[in-house]
Each structure stands twice: as C-alpha cells, then as structure tokens.
Structure 1
Amino acid sequence: MGNTLLMALGLMLILEGLLPLLLPQAWRDTFKRMIELKDGQLRFVGLMSVIGGLILFLLSK
C-alpha cells in the first residue's frame, strides 16, 4: 500500500512537472488566467479535477 502511494505521488510530480519543463511560457500564461478566475470558478475546476481523478482511480481497479 505504501509503495503504491509513493508511486502515485511520484507519477503526479512527473506529470505536473512536464508543462513547466517543456512549455514554461504556456505554464505562466495558464497560471495568470487562473489567478483571474473567481473563487467559484476555481472551485469548479478543482472539483472537476477531483472527479476526473476518482474516475481514473476507479477504472484502474
């Protein structure tokens, strides 16, 4: 269980690091646009991310 969690966290860091590594300007522009979102819009983006992650998690079993 612990090993699987570490692998999942490692994969998350790899995936999150790809955009700033390969396209730093696009990464900056994305964050600038996210800063301008209202709280409700940002929460919706977070909710969709959590739901998408849960679906992928459940499909992987």
Structure 2
Amino acid sequence: MDWILLIKALCLVLVIEGLPLALAPERMRRAALELARLDGRILRVCGLLAMAVGAGILLLLRPGM
C-alpha cells in the first residue's frame, strides 16, 4: 500500500470537511443541531448509504478498469 497516497487522501478529507465550517459556520451549527435531533437509526442508514456510495465510486475509479 502506498502510505503517501493514504495520507494525501486523509488530508483531502480534512480540507473538504473544513470548507463548510470556514465558509458558513452558523449554517453548520444549525445543521449540527438538526442532526442531533434525528433518530439514531436514520443517522446510521445515512452513514451506511454514504459509505456504500463512496466505496462504489472508488471501485469504479480503480486502475485497470
């Protein structure tokens, strides 16, 4: 495994996660409050769906396809 690639990917995640906080902190605060009000099952399903979509996109983008 290319560890540099993994570190670059994690850094990109941090940049993407930080953008909304830097650009619209009050909106992010409201969004966090709304998330806190949601049922745990809904959050779990959303998380699993996000992971499945991300894994699917990674599979489509892998070299040699």
Q: What TM-score do the two structures reach when normalised by structure 1?
A: 0.92
Alpha-carbon RMSD: 0.8
**Number of equivalent positions:** 61
TM-score of the superposed pair, with normalisation by structure 2: 0.87
Percent same amino acid among aligned pairs?
Answer: 31
Alignment of 1:1-61 (within 5 A): 1-61=2-62
Higher-Rg structure is 2
User: Runs ≥4 in structure 1, deviation > 6 angstroms?
Assistant: none
Distance 1:23 1:52 in 2: 26
